[in-house]
Structures are given as C-alpha cells and as structure tokens.
Structure 1
Amino acid sequence: MNMSVTSEAIIFLEDNGVAREILYPEFEALLDHVVGIDEYKNTSASAIYVRINKQLQVTSAVCFLVDFDSNGHIDNAWNVPLRHLADSGGRGPDLGAGPIKLSCRNQCSVSWHHRSLWDPILRNSGEDTLTTVAEVVKRNRLGLMFEPKTDTAVAESSLAMGRLSTLKPAADLKINPAANAALNEVFEERISEVTATYKLRLATMKSEAQDHLERVQRHHRIERGKLTESFVAVKNIFAEEKHKNLKLKKKFEVQANSLKKVRLQFQKQLQDSKTIGNGQVKELEEKFEQELNARVDAAMTELKEILDMRDIQLFYRDEQVSRMEGEIALFKKEKQSLVEASGDKVLQQLVESGVSFIAYQPGAYHLTIPLKDIGEYVDSPETYVAEKLSVDRITYKQWLKHYQMPLCIYSSGEGSVCGKSISTIDKPGRFIAGESDRCAEHSRAAATLSELMKVR
C-alpha cells in the first residue's frame, strides 16, 4: 500500500447516498464474523473501499458488492481482493489530489472479479457517486488524522500571482522553450486526464444501457414464453375439443341412424296394422315413445359416465405427478446433503487457505463457485450456469448448441435441415429459441403466423 495513504475506509451506499461509514479494521471484523450488521441481513449491499491521504482527499477507490447472511455477517464465499484492485486500478476522476486509481465493473484488472464490482455514476452535474463520497470524506465523521496544507504552499502561490502581475505585455514577452515545453506537458496531461475521465463515463453509461437492455430482453423473453405457452395450450385445447366433437358427432350420427331405422320399423308396423283398432295403435305409439326415450337416456348416461371416468383419470394422474415431483425433490436434497457431507471438511480447509473454485463455462466465462454450491455445480454444471445467467437449462443448452455451430436448424417435413450460416448470439440472455437459431426465412414468427392462419 502507498505510504502516503494514512487511512482506509469502507462507505456503504443506498439510493446513491451514503448509508454507513466504517474504517477498514471494522470491515475486517465483519469478515471474521466478530460483529454483524442487522439491517443488511439476507441482502446485497453496494460499497466503496477508499484510501484517504492526510488532507482528507480520496486517492483510490474500489466499487464492490458484498453479500450478507441471515446473521448480518459477510458471506463466507466473498473474496474480493480490495487492496490489490486499489493498487492496480485504472485512471479515475480528479477528486482534489489528482486522478484517483479506480476499479469498477468496466475497469477491473482481474477479469473474474468484475461481476463482484459495480459502476459508479459519473456526471458533470447532478448525481455523481465519487463526488458524493469525496464530500463525505471531507466531513471526517470517522475522526481521521488531518494535516492542512502548509503556509509555504500558500506563500508560493501568492508569490507566483505577484510575479504574474509584473509581467510585461504579450508583445514584449519572449517565450522560454523550457517553460513552453513544461506548459505543453501540463496541457497534454490535462487532456489525457479529461479523455480518460470521459472514456470511463462513456463505458459506465454503456454498461448501464446494456444492463437495462438485458433486463428488457429478459422481461420480453419471459412474456414471450408465457404467450407461446398460452398459445400452445389454447391450440391443444382447441384440437382436443375438435377431436371430441368429431367423435361425438360420429356417435350421434350412428345413434340417429339407429333411431331412424327403429322409426321406419315402427312406421312400417303402423302401416301394416291400419286395420288394427285405435287402442292397439295408441299402444304401439306409446311403446315407440318409451323405447325411443330409453335409448336416448341410455346414450346420455353412457356419455356422462365416459366424461366422469375421464375426469377421475385426470385427477389421479395429477396426484401421481405431484407425488413423484415431491419424491424427486427429496432425492435431490438427500443427494446434495451426501455430496456436501462427503468432502466438506477438505473443501472448507481449501477455502480457508485462500483457494477459490473457478470454472470456465461458455457464456459465463470465469465463474467463481462458492463452497456451498460445489455439490450443485458437480451435479449439473449446465443447470448451475443457466441459473447464474438467469435463463433456464433448456434455453442454455439450445444457446450452447447455437454458439458452437451457428447454423439455421429449421427442419422440413422430409427431414432435411436448412443449415444456412447465421449471426452468433454471444450471450444466453439474448438467445430466443426459434428466432436466434434460424435464418430470416425460417424464423418462428413466420411459422407462428402460418399456424394461426391454419387454425382459423
């Protein structure tokens, strides 16, 4: 650490305002679970590690995220090297002591830690995270040792101003090459500082826009999935009802033909029995009505029994599915417990020795795996990575297949595949099955429109 730095502090932020200030030794006590913070139980907080010189000016800053457990202690899996990131930080804005060293998500010297960092708001006016932090440090609520600027510096500044007042007009001045070179060096340094600051601001704004775009795309993907599921469900219900109606129609046609034959038979009997008395004719009509009603009632009873039986079958099937899902969840929990118990001591010793478990997965790049998630990762790496990327496992597998071979996968009824080259989607969160893995000619939007036209 730089010897000119007299103090280190951690500043917790909330809604771009300062929520809490602590010295670094207090933060180390949080890391060692000596104390906890009740208001941060089961939450994730945004914080800034700062180095402060003797004039209460910020010289380095690391914008990091920290997770707390149910007791208000920092999660055991948290392992961000704050001091190393502060030493290797990139150029940041000038907060009074020259450009600071800044480490954030878009400016991180250790690539696999960038997901544990966040980008501050950098603006010329209005809300500015680092300016707010510098003002809080100036208030010195932490009671840091403070050494004001010496009178010598003030005297030198006054003397320089006096010399400037005695200078001759510009027409009589002769330019000193050494002074001109020094002035150019100062201007170049200032231009470089302004350029670096605006590059950092541009990267921060780009990151914010990218995060907003990913949230919108995730919401769009979820809504699209819901609409697709609803459409498929309605389509299946429509096809099922259509099939039932066809079966009932055929059955009623058979019964209608049977009744027609019976009616013709009775009409023939009536024709043959014209000579029979009116009493016998009336008896035959009543008999005909009774038999007709009996056949209709029998047909209705049979149909009702079939429908009741189907409802019972569906009820038992749903009950069996629920029971089996519960058993599967129980088996998975038992398996996870066995995996965690089998090597827990060895892995805990490795973690306490400073070993981090890092895996490389397409789409997630370098992924730090906490000790508590080792069993889950070993059980199903694809499922674990998909959950960390906020997509389901099926979508991640479809994207992985597309990422490894970006070709149109549309298959015609004859079994042939299109195979045209398409643009590669580099992030699973932007991948949409049926759209991203097909060319423009065979996209799912065109297929869905065609299906709707067929249903109508």
Structure 2
Amino acid sequence: MSMQNKPQMVEAVMFFSERGICKQMMFPEFEALLDGVVNMPEFADQQMRVAFVVINPRLLLKAAVFFYLDFNEDGSPDKGWNIPLQHLAERAGRGPDLGAGPIRLACRSQCPVSWHQMHLWDPSLAPGQNDLVLLRDAVKSNKLGLLVEEESVPVVAPERLQMASEDKWYAPDPAKEVAEHLAQKMDQEHRLKTAQLIKQQRLRISSLSQQHEEELAKLKLASEQQGNSLQAQIQGLQQALQQQEQLNASLKAQLAAQAESMQSSREEMTRQLRALELHGRTEGDILRAQFDSELKAKIAAAVAEYKEQVAIRDVELAYRNELEARLQQDNERLKRERDEFAGQGSGQVLERLAKLGVVFVVYHPGAGHLTIPLQDIASYQDNPMAYAAAKCFVSEEQYRRWLAHYQQPTCDAALPSGERCAIPIDRIDSPSRFTIGESNCCARHRAGSRLRTVS
C-alpha cells in the first residue's frame, strides 16, 4: 500500500428520515451542497435531521454532531445556515463508547456553544430505535467506500521478552489460568457495558427533561393566554351588562315620572269632575266622557312616544354596530396597506440582504442569540419583548418581570414603611422557571405570603 492510499480519519454527513439513514455523503460533497453547486430535490421544502461524523481508519465512530438543515422549495439548503460542525465536534463532551472509546457527542442537550443549541437535536437512545447504533452500523457497512486499515497481530519485540526464573519453568495449572483470564475479561466487559449504559441513560434523561420543560412552558403559556382571553370576554360582558342596567334604570325613572304626572293629572281632573257633578248630572257625564277621551289620548300619546324612543334607540344601536363594523374594516384595510407599504419599502432591502447571506441575529437574556427569519422581522420590530417572550414560551408580562429580576436579583416585597425589601436573592436564569411572588421574593416574604394566603 502506497503512502497516497494510507487510511486516514474521514469526515462524513448522514441524513435521517422516518425509516432511518436515507443519505450518506463525504464532507466535501456536503460543502459543495452548501455552496449551491448541487441541489437535493428529494429534500425540497423540508427540515432534515443530519449527523456530522468523524470516522477512524477501522470504520469506528470518533465524534458525532446532530443538527437540523432546512431546504428550500427548489431543493437548495438554507443560505443562512452557519453551524461550525468541525469546531463543535472538537469541543463536544463525552458520549457512549461505540467501539473506539467514548465518542465526542454534540447535540441539543449537550452543546459546547450555547447559541447553536436551538439548531441541534437529540438522538433517540431507545432500544430498537437507537440513532447512534444506526450510525455505527451505517459506518460499518462502508457504503462510502472508505479505505480500511487492516488489523494485524502485534509482534512482540525480542528486547521486550523476559525469561522466567527456573522455579517457574514448569507449566502452572492451565484450567486455573483460563478461568482467571475469563473472569477478568468478563469483569472488564461488564464494567464497559455498565459505563456505556449509564452514559446513554444519563443523556436520554437529560433529553427527556429538556423536552418536558419545553412542553410544560408551552402549556403554561397557552393556559395564560386562554385565561387572559376569557378574562377579557368577562370584562366585556360585565361592561355591557352595566350599560344595560343603567339604561333600564333610566327608563324606569322616566316611566315613574310619567306615571306620577299622569296620576296628578287624574287627581286634578277627578277633583274638577266632582265639583262639576254638584252643578248637574248631564254636565258631569259630558265632563266624564271628555276626561276619559283626554286620558286615553294622553295614554296613547305616551305609548307612541315610548315606542318612538325605543325605535330611535334601535336605529341608533344598528347605526353604531354598522359604524363599528365599518371602522373595523377600515382598520384592517389600513393595517394591510401599512404591511404592504412596509413590505415594499424596508422589506425589499431586508430581502436583498437575506439573499446576500446576511443573517439577522439578536440577543435577549433568557432566550440567548435568536436567528430571526425574514418573515418575522415585522413582528419583531413591532414588539421585540413579545417575540423574545414567545421564544422562551412565557407571556410578555412574565418575561418583563423576569428581566427586571435578572438584571437586579433583589426582593421586590414592600416593607411596612413602604420601601422595597431589596435583599439580594438567587437569580433565576430561565424565564419559564420564574414565578411572580415566589422567585422575586426572599425566603421571609415568600413564607409570609403563604401564611396570608392560608389565613
């Protein structure tokens, strides 16, 4: 074998699908894919799970980095992708032993560079679905056609041979030596398998814990948003009910005043009628008839007036509803025109920058470095705090309260004198673990608040 064909350490990239490993390529081919020399139409408009691996000359894994790669509709990779795979593989922590000692493993739950964590994924370590075993078997199958180092039996140099003393020339008990050798070998294999199993279980527990924490934060955020929506609906209904009660009270007051006026008129007419009855029955009958007709006319006029007021209010209500609907339509139209105008102005500049390979990255405490897609630029400009809070799976109010706590971790409780307690407390590094009234208070005020709640 010549020096040109001597096996070397090899870097390769393997793509995962639902059925397992679906594509293998050497790292130079992957770099050509990133440079746009070739496309992969079979991965168009998909987010693929990919693994960068380092293979030794005996076809054994030495390092692995598990990352995501987005493909566009034409099968070209995302232009903003910029993960330093070789750097991550060199600085990665220890992983399971896949035949050549513990590998260097970089994944979502074990990432040496924090701002790349969101672009990595955790391999499955479940029995029967172990992604590391799939990688090991794929490397062993050698579909990439790598040069393999031939295993040779090591030859002992003559100077390393040692002569036993004469009293040990006679052969010892072979059965005892075989038993001791087998026992040592089984003990060593058992220790290696146990250490590897413990490492895999720890990695799996870390991955499950992180997934559970993210799901819990999402559920908590959804619950808070639903509670806020229901609270807003309740407030709207209460306001409408209060307005209706005020209107009913006003109408009742008007009816009472009209009834009192009519009662006084009736009493006056009755008094006049009685006075006239003294002067004659005929004139009294005439006045009584006149009184009844006038009373009926007044009642009919009052009823017509009330009906007219109700009709006027119905018309005003319908007009107000129509006006509100029209204003809502105008508001939505203006928003669309604003978005179109913003998209035609700054959006074209941002799109040209994105095509040139510029990546929009911002840093927010708790969320880390965020890569903002082009379609999210407008929403981020409208409310950066809300955008960062959504990435942390918390509400905007909780994120603002956590940020104040993160910048100055002191007790926010009020003393009887009106001043803040301001005792330094432990800083909560994650917004989703921050609880208002608990995380931003010292132990004394947390205990006091519990006692007051129980009482």
**Which of the residues 88, 95, 99 maps onto 1:96?**
99
Q: 1:107 — aligned with what?
A: 110
Question: CA shift at 1:347, angstroms?
Answer: 7.7
Q: Distance in 1 between matches of 2:64 and 2:390?
A: 31
Cα separation, partners in 2 of 1:346 and 1:220, compared to 1, 3 Å: closer
% same residue: 27
Q: 1:240 — aligned with what?
A: 243
Q: Distance in 2 between matches of 1:290 and 1:442?
A: 69
Task: Give the superposed CA RMSD.
Answer: 4.4
Question: CA shift at 1:302, angstroms?
Answer: 0.8
Aligned to 1:169, what secondary structure does the other structure show? helix
Select the structure of larger CA radius of gyration: 2
Q: Distance in 2 between matches of 1:254 and 1:345?
A: 73
**How many pairs does the alignment contain?**
415
**Partner AA of 1:10 in structure 2:** M
In the TM superposition, what whole-angstrom CA distance separates every residue of 1:301-350 from its partner, at most 9, and x where no partner exists?
Answer: 2133124213312431342244234324433543454335557767866x
**TM-score, with length taken from structure 1:** 0.73
Q: 1:219 — aligned with what?
A: 222
Cα pair 1:77 1:370 within 8 Å, conserved? no
**Partner AA of 2:256 in structure 1:** E
Cα pair 2:220 2:394 within 8 Å, conserved? no
**Which of the residues 309, 312, 317 maps onto 1:305?**
312
Question: CA shift at 1:113, angstroms?
Answer: 0.5
Determine if the alignment matches structure 1 residue 44 to structure 2 residue 47: yes
Determine if the alignment matches structure 1 residue 294 to structure 2 residue 301: yes
Aligned to 2:311, what secondary structure does the other structure show? helix
Q: Distance in 2 between matches of 1:234 and 1:403?
A: 38
**Which of the residues 285, 291, 315 maps onto 2:322?**
315
**Partner AA of 1:144 in structure 2:** G
Q: Distance in 1 between matches of 2:369 and 2:265?
A: 81
Structure 1 residue runs without a partner (length 5+): 154-164, 411-415, 447-456
In the TM superposition, what whole-angstrom CA distance separates every residue of 1:209-253 from its partner, at most 9, and x where no partner exists?
Answer: 222322322332233223323332333333333333323332332
Q: Distance in 1 between matches of 2:317 and 2:426?
A: 48
Q: Distance in 1 between matches of 2:435 and 2:249?
A: 37
In the TM superposition, what whole-angstrom CA distance separates every residue of 1:147-204 from its partner, at most 9, and x where no partner exists?
Answer: 4864648xxxxxxxxxxx964537x99x9xxxx9x99999988776565444323322
**TM-score, with length taken from structure 2:** 0.73
Structure 2 residue runs without a partner (length 5+): 1-6, 155-171
Q: 2:158 — aligned with what?
A: none
Q: 1:127 — aligned with what?
A: 129
Cα separation, partners in 2 of 1:403 and 1:278, compared to 1, 3 Å: farther
Cα pair 1:364 1:385 within 8 Å, conserved? yes
Question: CA shift at 1:38, angstroms?
Answer: 4.7
Cα separation, partners in 2 of 1:120 and 1:257, compared to 1, 3 Å: farther
Question: CA shift at 1:116, angstroms?
Answer: 0.8
Cα pair 2:11 2:54 within 8 Å, conserved? yes
**Partner AA of 1:312 in structure 2:** Y
Show the 5 A alignment for 1:3-402: 4-14=8-18, 17-18=19-20, 20-23=22-25, 24-38=27-41, 40-123=43-126, 125-140=127-142, 142-145=143-146, 147=148, 150=151, 152=153, 167=174, 169=176, 196-274=199-277, 275=281, 276-278=283-285, 280-335=287-342, 337-341=344-348, 351=357, 358-369=361-372, 381-390=384-393, 393=396, 396-402=399-405
Cα pair 1:218 1:429 within 8 Å, conserved? no
Question: CA shift at 1:8, angstroms?
Answer: 0.7
In the TM superposition, what whole-angstrom CA distance separates every residue of 1:397-449 from its partner, at most 9, and x where no partner exists?
Answer: 45434544565589xxxxx7887879865444456779977987889xx8xxx
Q: Distance in 1 between matches of 2:422 and 2:257?
A: 53
